[in-house]
A and B are shown apart, each in its own frame.
Chain A
Amino acid sequence: DIQMTQSPSSLSASVGDRVTITCRASQSISSYLNWYQQKPGKAPKLLIYAASSLQSGVPSRFSGSGAGTDFTLTISSLQPEDFATYYCQQTYSTPLTFGQGTKLEIK
């Protein structure tokens, strides 16, 4: 299985901050990397697919980059509704696997 490791596991930030979350794969996954946002009690929501493609309806303050083994999710200016847990996911090979999550909290 391909292991996905996110860092940090938790992060405190303020509204308006620029935030970056990193995801590292245990082997090269090309650009087969997605990012999801999950709020408490809710299903995950797709933000970014194929490493850098913004899902329809997702605000442009979210962006993704990377290829191979190292990827980042950036939120350019945090809004109150962005405080949530973020997961990366590889779809290069089955079993599809997720990172352990990064919890973004209000400072």
Chain B
Amino acid sequence: QVQLQESGPGLVKPSETLSLTCTVSGGSISSYYWSWIRQPAGKGLEWIGRIHPSGSTNYKPSLKSRVTMSGDTSKNQLSLKLSSVTAADTAVYYCARNRMGPSGEYFDYWGQGMLVTVSS
């Protein structure tokens, strides 16, 4: 059974860089795309971007200048970095596995989510 677990600081100061790790167990990260999604409290889901460990990435344009995603196949981990954060970046952050199919892709496994608060 594939399991995903987000980890990292739960509190980040404004203007600093949010850094999260997603550790995957029960399967290799090498064969799939992986996405990061966030959800402000009481609001909807926002896709941040996706990465394939081969290096291919796609970022949401409005976040592209601040986002970096990477993967470490030796540790079976994914990483998200979001720079110059503001209070608007406060949210629960999820990592998820992208399953690619003939009629699009879908997120079949999700981490439990990690609340990141941006505050001084």
The number of A-B residue pairs with CB atoms under 8 Å apart is 72
Taking the complex as formed, is A80 at the interface, i.e. its CB lies under 8 A from any CB of chain B? no
Chain A residues lying within 8 Å of B112, measured Cβ to Cβ, are: 42-43
Chain A residues lying within 8 Å of B50, measured Cβ to Cβ, are: 96
Q: Give chain B's interface secondary structure class.
A: strand
Contact B104 A91 (CB under 8 A): yes
List the A residue with the shortest CB-CB distance to B111.
A43
Contact B103 A98 (CB under 8 A): no
Q: Which of A87, A91, A94, A101 contacts B106 (CB 8 A)?
A: A91
Contact B103 A87 (CB under 8 A): no
Q: Give chain A's interface secondary structure class.
A: loop
Sort chain B's interface into a size bin: 20 to 34
Contact B58 A98 (CB under 8 A): no
Contact A50 B60 (CB under 8 A): no
Q: Which residues of B, 79-120, contact A by the 8 Å Cβ criterion?
A: 94, 96, 99, 101-108, 110-113
Q: Which residues of B contact A (CB under 8 A)?
A: 35, 44-47, 49-50, 58, 60-61, 94, 96, 99, 101-108, 110-113
